A and B are shown apart, each in its own frame.
Chain A
Amino acid sequence: MPLLEVREVSTFYGRICALDHVSLDVNEGEIVCLIGANGAGKTTLLNTISGVAPARHGEVLLNGAAITRTPAEKIVGQGISHVPERRQVFGSLTVMENLTLGAYSRFRRDGRASINNDIENVYLLFPVLKTRHKQLAGTLSGGEQQMLAVGRGLMARPKLMLLDEPSLGLAPLIVQEIFRILADLRRQGTTILLVEQNARAALRCADRGYVLENGRVVLSGAAAELSESELLQRAYLGKRNHRNRSG
């Protein structure tokens, strides 16, 4: 049984159909990436899974149990951590407070000591956060904010992490660093569903991928196969066919 199963999901914003019968699954331990142009529905799909934009039709199953109508604030407690687009750290709170709140959903269950322990683990993963732990999150650089957003997501000890455009607006070196960390996280047993504009980098670290267009899945398969597929090469990997032919 897959860890996450999305079955024939349709999501609307008012009368606009953002997702049209989308199905997808994510197995435990995998990195799966969603590729597509702006407005293809990638972010909406993550929002539908995490309960921010609930589906009108279809079902979302986590470990076989339906979470389609579960409100966003309860879903994180069930093991899905959503690291939203543009990081969305709490700018007026310190780095440490951001991380603490990442564990909000399990605070009562696990207690202070376990949470402090996890904060130390996040600092091991992102040493720069430790040096800035008393700083307001809003004063961090873009790359640091992204690390904080991922670290905050990890604090919930998720079974599945939804990552929305972690490379957005970051310098190439930082992007490499972020992808290296994703690979580390997978090695430690976190399952990841990744949305990326940067299709090449995403496919390099992912096991499988889905391509969305206008709210529909148009292509899916193993990452290696997808990188070879003609459609993808033309549309998202920036290889221009006409130049290949003429040159």
Chain B
Amino acid sequence: MTFTEQLAQFIVSGITQGSIYALIALGFVTIYNVTGIINFSQGEFAVIGAFIAITVAQKVNLFRGQFDVELEWPVPVAALIGVGGAVLVGVLLYRLGIQPARHASTLSQIVATIGASIALRGLVLLAWGTDPYRIPPFTQGKPFKILGAVITRQSVWVMGLTVVVVVALFLFFQYTLIGKALRASAANPGAARLMGINTRRMGLIAFALSAGLGALGGIVITPVTFMTYDRGLMLALKGFVAMIMGGLTSPFGAVVGGLALGIVESLAAGLISSGYKDAFAFAVLFVVLLVRLGGVFKRGSGEALERAGL
């Protein structure tokens, strides 16, 4: 394998992993823009979505063998159910965790999401235990080869679905009434209310949407990298880094940030040492914060950062 082939390989795996960060970062940005909250249970959405999909797709023992689930439904169906399940969790989190605290400060609400993430992680641990799980790839078959790099079929799914989701999300925000109302609530919640937009419902929609995005990320990556109960924290942190790299409020920036982070990690792991993978991700965060507080795709004032307490 020549060096360029290796490089191509690292970049392909970087983009695959980065797509997941991008989806999670998109969830962060959506919730942040609409509600001002940084939702630290974003990673848990990915984990819960993945575990629900796993449970539907194959034989699983729940609660240390208390329940045997033998559905073995096709993977795409399982993926849809996983996304739906996570959306439900997102809705419950907003209704039970955020909405009752709507008169509290944004910081308190952010702390509530940290609490929720710990609780959800515990729940997943109780139900599924500490074992790593996998689901079969969405489609079977030989991997593709481009420029000497091996691209598995699942990687193609990951990248393809990310593109589809990003385009769909763009169309949703740009051309539907609800999408415009969400953007209006982000731009000026007070004026949005005067237009008759129920900003609480917009918050609910943002949480549901973000949960779905996170779950999709968790599910498509499970055939590639396995899923364990405790992956949510790291996924959330990486998504958060991607969000900050992208300027905190820009969905486009979040996607670019996610992909860039994935590539940096993969190159660092491949060329230096896989032990430094995470260290590099946070070094990137450190540099971005240091050089340009507000990220690369920042627009406007530092108001957004102040709102986030950064």
- A-side residues, CB < 8 A to B, are 50, 52, 71-74, 76-77, 81-82, 84, 88-93, 97, 100-102, 104-105, 107, 152, 156
Contact mask for chain B residues 167-194; partner A; CB cutoff 8 A; 1 contact, 0 none: 0000000000100110110111011111
Kindly state the separation between the CA atoms of A156 and B181 in the bound complex, as whole angstroms. Answer: 15
Tell which of A52, A71, A92, A104 touches B195, judged by Cβ atoms closer than 8 Å: A104
Kindly state the separation between the CA atoms of A174 and B183 in the bound complex, as whole angstroms. Answer: 29
Q: Which residues of A contact B193 (CB under 8 A)?
A: 52, 71-73
Interchain CB contact under 8 A, B190 and A88: yes
Known: A104-B177, A105-B195. A90 touches B190 (CB 8 A): no
Interchain CB contact under 8 A, B187 and A93: yes
Q: Give the distance to chain A from B170, nearest Cβ to Cβ, in Å.
A: 15
Q: Which residues of B contact A107 (CB under 8 A)?
A: 177
Interchain CB contact under 8 A, B180 and A93: yes
Q: Tell me whether B159 is interfacial, beta carbon within 8 Å.
A: no
Interface size class of B (residues with CB under 8 A): 10 to 19
Stretch touching chain A among B56-64, B196-204, B205-213: B196-204
Interchain CB contact under 8 A, A101 and B188: no
Kindly state the separation between the CA atoms of A241 and B279 in the bound complex, as whole angstroms. Answer: 75
Q: Give the distance to chain A from B35, nearest Cβ to Cβ, in Å.
A: 16
Kindly state the separation between the CA atoms of A81 and B191 in the bound complex, as whole angstroms. Answer: 11
Query: Which of B177, B195, B198: most chain A Cβ within 10 A?
Result: B195
Q: Which residues of A contact B199 (CB under 8 A)?
A: 73
Q: Which residues of B contact A101 (CB under 8 A)?
A: 180-181, 184, 192, 195, 197
Query: Which of B183, B186, B193: most chain A Cβ within 10 A?
Result: B193
Interchain CB contact under 8 A, A92 and B198: no
Q: Give the distance to chain A from B184, nearest Cβ to Cβ, in Å.
A: 5
Which single residue of chain A is at the shortest CB-CB distance from B177?
A: A107
10 other A-B residue contacts (CB within 8 Å) besides A76-B195, A101-B181: A72-B194, A73-B193, A73-B197, A74-B196, A77-B196, A89-B188, A89-B191, A90-B191, A101-B197, A105-B195
A-B contact pairs, 30 of them (CB 8 A): A52-B190, A52-B194, A71-B193, A72-B193, A73-B195, A73-B197, A73-B199, A74-B196, A76-B194, A76-B195, A77-B196, A81-B194, A82-B194, A84-B194, A88-B191, A88-B194, A89-B188, A90-B184, A90-B187, A90-B192, A91-B188, A92-B186, A93-B187, A101-B197, A102-B195, A104-B177, A104-B181, A104-B196, A104-B197, A105-B195
Count: A-B pairs, CB below 8 Å: 68
Interchain CB contact under 8 A, A156 and B190: no
Interchain CB contact under 8 A, A84 and B191: yes
Which single residue of chain B is at the shortest CB-CB distance from A97?
A: B180
- B-side residues, CB < 8 A to A, are 177, 180-181, 183-184, 186-188, 190-199
Which single residue of chain B is at the shortest CB-CB distance from A76?
A: B196
Q: Give the distance to chain A from B190, nearest Cβ to Cβ, in Å.
A: 7
Kindly state the separation between the CA atoms of A97 and B183 in the bound complex, as whole angstroms. Answer: 10
Q: Which residues of B contact A91 (CB under 8 A)?
A: 187-188
Q: Give the distance to chain B from A45, nearest Cβ to Cβ, in Å.
A: 15
Which single residue of chain A is at the shortest CB-CB distance from B249?
A: A92
Which single residue of chain A is at the shortest CB-CB distance from B191?
A: A88
Q: Which residues of B contact A97 (CB under 8 A)?
A: 180, 183-184
Interchain CB contact under 8 A, A50 and B194: yes
Q: Which residues of B contact A105 (CB under 8 A)?
A: 195-196
Which single residue of chain A is at the shortest CB-CB distance from B299?
A: A92
Q: Which residues of A contact B198 (CB under 8 A)?
A: 73
